[in-house]
């Protein structure tokens, strides 16, 4: 599965972006989006379009974890969202692999509930929730840094490293 993670400010400004692939079930950690060369811009477009849905869904409950909120059918992409108390949104675009993962000369036998195959399964939702929760903890620590100004882009290599570690751990 390929992932595009972005932290969006309350004013819809991207504060942090990270693209990665699955590390579970024999994945190599590299993103392989179906959009080809334009994947970076298409991913931004899909996530930005999902922000309208987030604004509608956020008032329907008191949960910070909103689960899968949108589906983009042409690329079979799904968007999940996690809200912070300050209305900062953690958006994750996830797109399943188009082919089964291969290990050497044989095909891997992944179940339909595997994280790498089914973006809406309970196991996948739980893994994404755990990823978002861990990133939220890192986010809070970044906000407490006296050298970080709220609303600025996050350029910290430590933040990027910890998001990458959480992605390898959960996704």
pLDDT for position 97? 72
pLDDT for position 32? 62
Closest CA to 71 of 96, 100, 101: 96
Percent of the chain beyond pLDDT 70? 79
pLDDT 10s digits, 80-112: 999 998 899 999 998 887 644 333 333 333 444
pLDDT for position 109? 39
Contact yes or no for 66/80 (Cβ under 8 A): yes
Q: What is the C-alpha separation between 56 and 50, in angstroms, rounded? A: 10
Three-state secondary-structure class, residue 57: helix
Residue 146, φ and ψ in degrees, nearest 5: -65, -15
Mean pLDDT of the chain: 81
Three-state secondary-structure class, residue 16: strand
Residues of the chain with pLDDT below 50 are 99-113
pLDDT for position 112? 44
Q: What is the C-alpha separation between 31 and 18, in angstroms, rounded? A: 10
Q: Which value, to the nearest 10 degrees, does the dihedral of the CA atoms of residues 15, 21, 23, 24 take? A: 110
Inter-axis angle of helices 157-170 and 122-143, nearest 10: 160
């Amino acid at each position: 599965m390929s992932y595009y993670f972005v932290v969006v400010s309350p004013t819809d400004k991207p504060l942090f972006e990270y693209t990665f692939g699955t590390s579970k079930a024999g994945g190599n950690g590299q993103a392989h989006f179906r959009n080809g060369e334009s994947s970076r811009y298409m991913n931004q477009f899909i996530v930005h379009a999902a922000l309208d849905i987030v604004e509608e869904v956020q008032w329907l409950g008191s949960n910070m974890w909103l689960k899968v909120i949108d589906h983009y059918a042409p690329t079979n992409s799904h968007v999940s969202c996690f809200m912070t108390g300050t209305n900062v949104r953690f958006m994750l675009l996830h797109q399943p692999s188009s082919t089964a993962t291969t290990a050497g000369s044989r095909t891997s036998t992944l179940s339909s509930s595997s994280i790498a195959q089914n973006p809406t399964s309970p196991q996948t939702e739980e893994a994404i929730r755990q990823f978002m929760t861990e990133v939220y903890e890192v986010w809070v620590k970044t906000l407490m840094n006296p050298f970080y100004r709220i609303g600025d882009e996050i350029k910290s290599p430590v933040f990027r490293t910890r998001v990458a570690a959480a992605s390898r751990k959960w996704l």
